[in-house]
């Protein structure tokens, strides 16, 4: 508590009686003692003589000091959130504990009695209003009193902030603590204990994360926190947004900055285990892991076995052996978020087999066949193998590529052998040699064989070639001798419920549906007479409303349809239950022989089809099995993973950059149940593989290049088509087939051209003018005729059903679909125009539309879209009224609702008529667009208060459309009564005013009369000294029928008094206006 100041003592004389005592800033009781140990010897100069040890008289003294430390209040500045329930604790140190606290502004703060035992160490304050106050603490136990002060500012919250990066990534199942800050506009912040009074709410957009308090108690969907920290738990995969809010005293809510939170699955390298042959390559990807604000780096642990591109993930096999690969996810430079590992085996497969998804094939059906190696798959070797030689033991039972065979038959004399196969412009036969498509021609069993060679390239440019061969026996199953029900049989998977495929279905077999009154068709299963297997058949296939439900496979049943109104009974369809055995990517225009050419940036949706063991397609099998889609070059082709689940109907591909990519679709990732397609991304000639007619012209161009390339066009057979070397404009010369080439310094492209003398597909348009009001419920019939040359192209599509597709140009006008008239056997494209409401939304804003346009209907062969025909017809758009109901429209106008708006959509080139021109006004107030997709608003306004009815006629001269709108204008009884009330009110007011004026005039005249009758009794105001007698009322029962007369002396007295009163008899204006008194 205290010590001697040695530095000061050294400066003093050795024999001085004064010493300096240094006190520490502490409170307590201190005793200071001084003892004399000797005396100065004056004779000896500076020497001292010590006292004898045996001396009993010791010279000593002591003093007791009560030390008090400096009075302090901390903290000296305090920021307090304004809340009546908030409390501020100030720490007091020093002083004597006899303290008094004073606040200079009691409207801001008040002193609260602290808990017992803390009076000397704490000062408790409570905010009463916003502002700044000075708190002074006086120590009255000291003389003079000590004082210490602190400044307290009571404010409202201005901002709140989440102390975190803008992006947070969490592994599913983990948690992270989130810190908060809150303060005012100058940057100062509140202490943590004040957060309990701020009503802070944590907002989470969805349930991807859960909010936990510091005790790990969950608050689903967010919650309130009273401390400046909480936890978030990564519950589900996805990306969400997190923010907090606080309420000000005014009720205004302030928000923090949003924080994006990504919950990701642990990263996995895909594929995690891979087999490659030396010289092969595969682009690896990372599944899972964070995706926002991160990048991935790949590395191989042994570059002598395999190397990896650091950023793209391209794995290149170098030499046989095993190695490990690593993918590291970074964020913000070198911050490692997570890692994933995989294994690579490089080797040479010892054997190969031929693989087909089924060993059975129906007559007229197709199935792909490809080699399957003992190790790895086609991804591992397809780029290094070549010289494929495919053979069929009996080509009467089975054949390859029927289209190739038919084209060779017709045009074989005009082409050399290398030109007989029509491939896309820059994808050769050799590149697609690893896969073939078998076509069942007749019943029987035959063998298919293949032989090829693969050249493996190892480190140091060392290479060697290896030959492979394999064979497979395929049984082609014939149709039954009598199978008339095959075209109407739906193949469905077991344990499956269809969508609503039974139109107007209302009753199920054996029970009545609750909605039966809405349908007219009753569906039921056809059965034999009851036997022991009846119960089994009921369970196998059943009808539930408008859906079909199956259970076990290998069952067949037919459905009977009965019209309850007409009584007509027919077989609606038959149902066959079979297992899903095959999967296929169906062929489109862009998919000849499992090859696709795409330009960079192009997108393509490919339908996925399920088939049974014989190759019969399923009518419906959504989600029946799971399928997987992968590619060896995801940097070249991107696959939309959201559209590749089991219930999808398509896979969506997008060309990302130049290159080649092999895409595999498989059932549950089984290599034996797979189909492949090779995609080439780059430049190609447009259009590809056109079919032309003699006398026509075509302008070839190059698609898929970022920059313009100068080159030269040429043709392989000038007698079929001639091409301008510089412009690419082609002119048809004669019948036949040939190829057109484009050559540049580093580019060589080609495409096939077929010239025909007659139309394979011809379309005839209807004679009437097309319109969309009223909407044709059965569509407009465009007749489609297909010539005998169609047989040359039928292998491109399914041999069952309609073999052509219909399209509309321009597509925003409507849609078209093929239709076969079963009675006449004629084929049509049914055109269904969109309604005016749809056209307003669908027509591009940049289109310069007219009220009437030419609509072209194009019919093309399925699988050979370039084989097509078209016909055009005049389409005149109609109009519709937005506010109009199904039948008619009624406008009711009143003085309080004397106007309304009608909106015309579609063809707004209309004319409007009505009769009551003086009582009804119709004006155009807004027009947007024109042609068949315009929008116009008209204001209908009632003029005056006349009661009338009228009809508005809106006509469109272009197609004769007319709409009538009834208008009723009624002034209403309420208006008349209100007018009467107003008239009566004004009459009453004026009458009262006239009566008041008359009363005043009569009073003045009465007072100004010059003479008064002696018998008249005059009532004058009584003076304080004179009390005039009051005459009793005549009706009083106490008196007779005649009142006594006033005594004459009293009358004389009154007269004298009046005459003697000064200025009483003066002019009336002086009595009325006091200013005239004199």
- If asked whether residues 775 and 883 sit together in one domain, one would say no
Q: Which of 756, 789, 805 is the last residue of a domain?
A: 756
| pTM, rounded to two decimals | 0.56
Residue 1003 lies in a domain: no
pLDDT at residue 64 in the model: 80
pLDDT at residue 392 in the model: 93
- If asked whether residues 742 and 768 sit together in one domain, one would say no
- If asked whether residues 443 and 509 sit together in one domain, one would say no
CB atoms closer than 10 angstroms to residue 989: 10
Q: Which of 551, 577, 603 is the last residue of a domain?
A: 577
pLDDT digits (tens, 9 = 90+) for 283-313: 999 988 888 778 899 999 999 999 999 988 9
pLDDT at residue 512 in the model: 40
Residue 556 lies in a domain: yes
pLDDT at residue 325 in the model: 94
The CATH number linked to 699 is 2.60.40.60
Residue 1007 lies in a domain: no
Sign of CA dihedral 791, 795, 796, 802: positive
The CATH number linked to 835 is 2.60.40
- Residues pairing with 472 in the sheet: 448
What residue ranges of the chain have pLDDT lower than 50?
402-426, 505-517, 535-537, 589-592, 643-647, 791-801, 846, 886-887, 974-976, 1011-1043, 1067-1078
Quick check: 353 and 470 in contact, CB under 8 A? yes
Domain extent at residue 1077: 1045-1078
- If asked whether residues 458 and 589 sit together in one domain, one would say yes
Sign of CA dihedral 779, 783, 788, 792: negative
pLDDT at residue 1063 in the model: 57
The CATH number linked to 942 is 2.60.40.3450
Residue 569 lies in a domain: yes
Residue 1001 lies in a domain: no
Quick check: 635 and 652 in contact, CB under 8 A? no
The CATH number linked to 318 is 2.60.40.1080
- If asked whether residues 454 and 590 sit together in one domain, one would say yes
Question: 3-class SS at 791?
Answer: helix
- Separation of alpha carbons 740 and 596, rounded Å: 19
Residue 233 lies in a domain: yes
Residue 1006 lies in a domain: no
- If asked whether residues 467 and 599 sit together in one domain, one would say yes
Q: Are strands 48-50 and 109-112 parallel, antiparallel or unpaired?
A: unpaired
- If asked whether residues 676 and 742 sit together in one domain, one would say no
Can you give the length of the chain in residues? 1078
Quick check: bond before 81 cis, omega within 30? no
Structurally, the chain folds into a number of domains equal to 10
- If asked whether residues 471 and 444 sit together in one domain, one would say yes
pLDDT digits (tens, 9 = 90+) for 883-917: 665 445 788 888 878 888 888 888 888 899 999 88
- Separation of alpha carbons 994 and 370, rounded Å: 116
What's the distance, CA 80 to chain centroid?
Answer: 42
Contacts of 922 (CB under 8 A, 6+ apart): 912, 914, 938, 939, 940, 941, 952
| Residue 292 burial class via C-beta count within 10 angstroms: exposed 0-12, middle 13-18, buried 19 and up | middle
Quick check: 908 and 927 in contact, CB under 8 A? yes
pLDDT at residue 122 in the model: 80
- If asked whether residues 169 and 278 sit together in one domain, one would say no
The CA distances from residue 726 to 710, 716, 875, in Å, are 8, 16, 39
The CATH number linked to 145 is 2.60.40.10
Q: Which of 643, 660, 681 is the last residue of a domain?
A: 681
Question: 3-class SS at 1072?
Answer: helix
- If asked whether residues 771 and 868 sit together in one domain, one would say yes
Sign of CA dihedral 218, 221, 223, 228: positive
- If asked whether residues 713 and 844 sit together in one domain, one would say no
Residue 720 lies in a domain: yes
- If asked whether residues 689 and 770 sit together in one domain, one would say no
pLDDT at residue 1043 in the model: 47
């Amino acid at each position: 508590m205290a010590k001697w100041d040695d530095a000061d003592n050294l400066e003093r004389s050795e024999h001085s009686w004064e010493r300096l005592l240094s006190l520490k800033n502490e409170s307590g009781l201190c005793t200071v003692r001084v003892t004399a140990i000797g005396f100065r010897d004056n004779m000896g100069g500076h020497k001292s003589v010590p006292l004898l040890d045996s001396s009993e008289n010791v010279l000593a003294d002591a003093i007791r000091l009560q030390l008090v430390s400096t009075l302090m209040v901390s903290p000296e500045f305090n920021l307090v959130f304004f809340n009546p329930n908030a409390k501020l604790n100030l720490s007091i140190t020093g002083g004597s504990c006899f303290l008094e606290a004073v606040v200079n502004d009691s409207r801001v703060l008040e002193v609260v009695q602290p808990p017992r035992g803390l009076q000397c160490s704490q000062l408790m304050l409570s905010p009463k209003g916003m502002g700044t106050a000075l708190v002074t603490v006086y120590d009255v136990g000291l003389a003079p009193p000590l004082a210490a002060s602190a400044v307290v500012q009571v404010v409202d919250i201005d901002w709140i902030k989440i102390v975190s990066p803008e992006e947070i990534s969490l592994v599913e199942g983990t948690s992270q603590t989130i810190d908060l800050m809150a303060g005012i506009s100058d940057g100062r912040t509140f202490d943590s204990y004040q957060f309990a009074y701020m009503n802070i709410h944590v907002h989470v957009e969805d349930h991807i994360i859960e909010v936990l308090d510091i005790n790990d108690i969950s608050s689903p969907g967010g919650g309130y926190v009273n401390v400046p920290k909480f936890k978030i738990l990564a519950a589900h995969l996805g990306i969400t947004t997190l923010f907090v809010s606080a309420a000000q005293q005014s009720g205004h809510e302030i928000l923090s900055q949003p924080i994006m939170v990504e919950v990701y699955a642990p990263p996995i390298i895909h594929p995690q285990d891979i087999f490659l042959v030396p010289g092969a390559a595969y682009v690896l990807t990372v599944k899972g892991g964070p995706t926002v604000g991160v990048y991935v780096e790949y590395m191989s642990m042994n570059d002598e076995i395999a190397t990896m591109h650091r950023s793209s993930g391209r794995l290149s096999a170098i030499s046989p052996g095993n190695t490990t690969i690593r993918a590291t996810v970074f964020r913000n430079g070198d911050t490692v978020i997570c890692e994933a590992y995989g294994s690579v085996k490089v080797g040479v497969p010892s054997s190969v087999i031929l693989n087909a998804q089924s060993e059975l094939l129906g007559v007229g059906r197709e199935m792909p066949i490809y080699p399957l190696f003992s190790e790895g798959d086609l991804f591992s070797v397809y780029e290094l193998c070549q010289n494929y030689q495919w053979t069929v033991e009996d080509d009467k039972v089975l054949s390859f590529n029927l289209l190739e065979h038919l084209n060779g038959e017709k045009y074989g004399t005009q082409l050399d052998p290398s030109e007989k196969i029509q491939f896309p412009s820059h994808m050769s036969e050799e590149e697609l040699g690893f896969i073939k498509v078998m076509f069942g021609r007749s019943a029987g069993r035959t063998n298919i064989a293949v032989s090829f060679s693969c050249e493996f390239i190892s480190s140091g440019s060392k290479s060697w070639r290896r030959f492979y061969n394999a064979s497979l026996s395929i049984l082609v199953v014939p149709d039954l001798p009598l199978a008339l029900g095959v075209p109407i049989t739906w193949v469905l998977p077991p344990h499956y419920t269809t969508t609503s495929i039974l139109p107007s279905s209302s009753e199920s077999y054996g029970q009545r549906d609750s909605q039966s009154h809405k349908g007219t068709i009753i569906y039921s299963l056809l059965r034999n007479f009851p036997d022991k297997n009846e119960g089994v058949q009921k369970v196998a296939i059943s009808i539930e409303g408008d859906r079909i439900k199956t259970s076990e496979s290998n069952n067949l049943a037919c459905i009977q349809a009965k019209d309850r109104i007409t009584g007509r009974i027919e077989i609606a369809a038959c149902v066959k239950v079979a297992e899903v055995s095959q999967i296929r990517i169906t062929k489109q225009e862009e998919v000849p022989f499992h090859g696709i050419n795409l330009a960079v940036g192009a997108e393509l949706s490919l339908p996925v089809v399920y088939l049974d063991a014989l190759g019969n397609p399923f009518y419906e099998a959504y989600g029946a099995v799971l399928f997987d889609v992968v590619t060896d070059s995801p940097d070249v082709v991107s696959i939309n993973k959201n559209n590749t689940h089991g219930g999808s109907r398509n896979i969506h591909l997008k060309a990302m950059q130049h290159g080649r990519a092999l895409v595999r679709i498989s059932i549950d990732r089984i290599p034996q149940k797979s189909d492949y397609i090779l995609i080439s991304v780059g430049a190609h000639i447009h259009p590809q593989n056109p079919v032309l007619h003699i006398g026509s012209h075509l302008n070839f161009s190059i698609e898929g290049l970022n920059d313009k390339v100068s080159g030269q066009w040429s043709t392989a057979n000038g007698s079929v088509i001639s091409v301008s070397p510089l412009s690419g404009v082609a002119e048809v010369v004669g019948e036949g087939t040939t190829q057109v080439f484009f050559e540049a310094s580093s580019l060589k492209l080609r495409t096939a051209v077929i010239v025909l003398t007659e139309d394979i597909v011809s379309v005839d348009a209807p004679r009437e003018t097309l319109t969309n009001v009223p909407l044709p419920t059965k569509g407009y019939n465009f007749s489609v005729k297909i010539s005998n040359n169609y047989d040359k192209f039928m292998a491109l599509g399914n041999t069952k059903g309609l073999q052509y597709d219909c399209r509309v140009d321009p597509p925003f006008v409507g849609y078209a679909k093929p239709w076969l008239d079963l009675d006449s056997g004629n084929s049509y494209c049914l055109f269904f125009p969109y309604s005016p409401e749809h056209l307003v939304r669908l027509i591009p804003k940049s289109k310069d539309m007219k009220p009437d346009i030419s609509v072209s209907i194009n019919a093309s062969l399925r699988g050979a879209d370039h084989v097509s025909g078209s016909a055009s017809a005049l389409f005149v758009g109609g109009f519709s009224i937005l506010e109009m109901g199904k039948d008619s429209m009624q406008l009711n106008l009143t003085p309080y609702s004397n106007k309304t708006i009608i909106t015309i959509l579609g063809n707004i080139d209309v004319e409007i008529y009505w009769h009551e021109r003086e009582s009804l006004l119709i004006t155009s107030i807004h027009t947007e667009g024109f042609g068949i997709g315009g929008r116009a608003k008209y204001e209908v306004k009632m003029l005056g208060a006349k009661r009338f009815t009228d009809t508005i006629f809106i006509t469109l001269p272009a197609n004769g459309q007319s709409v009538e709108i009834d208008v009723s204008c009624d002034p209403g009884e309420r208006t008349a009564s209100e007018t009467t009330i107003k008239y009566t009110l004004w009459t009453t007011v004026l009458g009262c005013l006239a009566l008041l004026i008359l009363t005043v005039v009569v009073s003045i005249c009465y007072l100004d009369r010059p003479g008064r009758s002696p018998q008249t009794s005059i009532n004058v105001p009584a003076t304080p000294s004179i009390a005039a007698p009051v005459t009793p009322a005549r009706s009083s029962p106490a008196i007779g029928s005649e009142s006594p007369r006033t005594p004459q002396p009293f009358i004389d007295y009154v007269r004298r008094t009046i005459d003697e009163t000064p200025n009483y008899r003066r002019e009336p204006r002086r009595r009325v206006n006091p200013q005239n008194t004199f």
